[in-house]
Amino acid sequence: MLQVILYNVTNGLIIGAFYVLMALGLSLILNLSNVINFAHGNFLALGGYMAFVLTPAIGFWGALLVAPVATAVLGFVVERLMIRRVYNRDPVYSLLLTFGLAFILQDVCRYVWGPNGLPLGVPDAMSAPISDTLFFITWYRIFNVTVVIIGVAALFAFLRFTRVGVRIRAGTLDLETVAALGVNVSMLRSFNFAVGCLLAGLAGVLAAGQIGLNPNMGDDLLMPSFIAIIVGGVGSLTGTLVGGLLIGVAAALTTIVWPAASEAVIYVIMAVVLVLRPRGLMGEEGMLT
Amino acid sequence: MNSATTVGTTARPSIDSRWLQLIVIWAVLLTVPLWLPFVGGYTALAGRVLVLGLAAMSFNILLGFTGVMSFGHAAYFGLGAYGAGLALKYLAASTPLAIVMGTLLGGVLGALFGLLIVRRRGVYFAMVTVAFGQVAFYVAYSWNDLTGGYDGLRGFTREPLHLGFTDIDITNNGNLFYYFLLFVFAIAVALQGLLLASPLGRTWLAIRENERRARFLGIPIERHIWLAFTISCFFTALAGSLYALLNNFADPMALHYSLSGEIVIMTVMGGMRAFWGPLLGAAVFVVLQDYISSMTVNWMSFIGLIFVLVVLFFPRGLLGMLRRRDAA
């Protein structure tokens, strides 16, 4: 029994880690630009596919570094070309735009790499389990969680200690004032969008090594990421972090007692949070309304 | 959004041209079975246009006339479909009962979810609606025994109508079923028109134009948005129950948020500030979708491209563009 619980908790933490990477990227974009990026799961898939293309040339480690950056560059271009144009319009337009982009990107992945799943080769040493009793925990899973921890720490350090990071945080609170102080807000938003896509790309590479690649691999992560943001509280990145881990572990623990409800439980958590604490666990007062 | 100065002055068509518009629309809708075969269409396609048009018009009560952005309306549409299908399969072989049960299932759940949703605004409203919308999808997806899971709910068919003095066989006769759909559509749309012209509907317009001012006037904003959301959900669920009758099948994809997106694009493409805009958008979208998916396997790219092009180049929609030309 202990093993079963341990197995599901580690599973939950790993899935939660993916939720966190996705949701942090979404949250960054949502907070600064007021755009829900429906295509975020497709940027994740593109990150994975780019790693798939790059691995034969530069190996897994090279791909792990390059693919997320390439995803970020792509995100930057998409933002400059399209998303930037709808910032000052009714929110319905940004939703529809990213929604359409999601369709296109998914279809492009399917067209280029085929509809069937593809494996991403990870170094052999990492597919080995860490011990005989804990046979279900491979080194790759440990590695996944480590990378996510480093990535999240780097993101928070970036937002806290760099000039651009501070501007992004200031912009979430009051974009007009930031613009009045002479910051190029348009560029700031594009860069911020790219950072969000970087996180998605990183999640894509890690997820590809774990579950393989398919054109809609990001779709299953999109909705839980929304819920992570709602549960954690809109406007708070720490909240998103907590929310992602919480729903990941909750879903995994539910699997032990009632597998069919594992997906449903995250919606129940969302409903409970919205009833008891409408602004989310760590949301700022007034951000949601 | 913040165009408070244009209240009511957005080139409202004169009384005459509104009658003309009505006559043209109903003349086209009533004669569909006569001319459709000549342009290469089929009646089931026209049925799809009516059903999705009704869904989009119901959705537009919220988006176009209350100014609130829901992105989860597929849930209530799909619940209507499943409600109708389950009623036909397990309760009784009666088409009217199926419609009533479908409408109630979607509408009542919409009213409940609405209570949790209405305090949010803007994109957050959209985000919470989309998340709640997926609840229904996962329930239908995982509750295999009742709903048929991934394969959808099968094993029911629409039943002939028993009117006492005569029976109308809508099961096999496609044209007759189209007119049945049109009959229900007409009642629903007439109700919507009356509602939007009533003081209640005008209050919603006031909320859309300037929420803060409406609040200062003592209008209970949250209650009104909840009411608009609930009513919109009831009508959407009605459309969904008709969808189940049309296909003799309820499909989990009818609950999925991608359908929510399609309902929104139909509305915007037709013109969300025009009463009939969503119907026009639905007609264009459904026909395009049907054509594109028969031409290429990469239909998703083309559908996505439609979204992008509409947003970037035709944000006012087809009727919105016509009206602006009138005004100019």
Find, among A48, A19, A55, the residue nearest to A217 by Cα: A48
Least CB–CB distance from B301: residue in A34, A108, A227: A108
Q: Is A272 on the interface with B (CB under 8 A)?
A: no
Domain boundaries, chain B: 39-256
Which residue in the block uniquely carries the two structure tokens 């995803």?
A71
Find, among B81, B280, B96, B284, the residue nearest to B180 by Cα: B96
Convert the pLDDT of each residue in A8-37 to its tens digit. 888 888 888 888 999 999 999 998 988 999
Beta-strand (E) ranges in chain A? none
Q: Which two tokens stand for residue A231?
A: 């549960």
Find, among A120, A115, A83, the residue nearest to A102 by Cα: A83
Q: How many beta carbons lie within 10 A of that of residue A252, not counting itself?
A: 22
Contacts of B301 (CB under 8 A, 6+ apart): A103, A104, A107, A108, A111
Does residue B312 have a pLDDT over 50? Answer: yes
Where would I find the H helices in chain B? Answer: 15-30, 32-35, 43-63, 73-86, 95-117, 122-142, 144-147, 174-197, 199-209, 211-216, 221-247, 257-270, 277-295, 299-313, 317-327
Convert the pLDDT of each residue in B161-211 to its tens digit. 777 677 777 777 778 888 889 999 999 999 999 999 999 999 999 989 888
Closest-CA distance, B121 to chain A, in angstroms, reads 6
Partners of B168 in the β-ladder: B161
Cβ contacts of A128-137, under 8 Å, gap ≥ 24: A133/A3, A134/A6, A136/A3, A136/A7, A136/A10, A137/A10
> For residue A270, which residues of chain B lie inside 8 Å, CB to CB?
131
Using the 8-state DSSP alphabet, how is residue A118 labeled? B
Distance in Å from the first CA to the final CA of chain A: 44
- A277-281 mean pLDDT: 81
Convert the pLDDT of each residue in A134-164 to its tens digit. 777 778 888 888 999 999 999 999 999 999 9
Using the 8-state DSSP alphabet, how is residue B8 labeled? T
Interface test with A, best of B2, B127, B303 (most A CBs within 10 A): B127
State how far the Cα of A183 lies from the Cα of B89, in Å rounded to an integer: 63
The model carries a pTM of 0.88
State how far the Cα of A150 lies from the Cα of A99, in Å rounded to an integer: 31
Interface confidence (ipTM) of the complex:
0.86
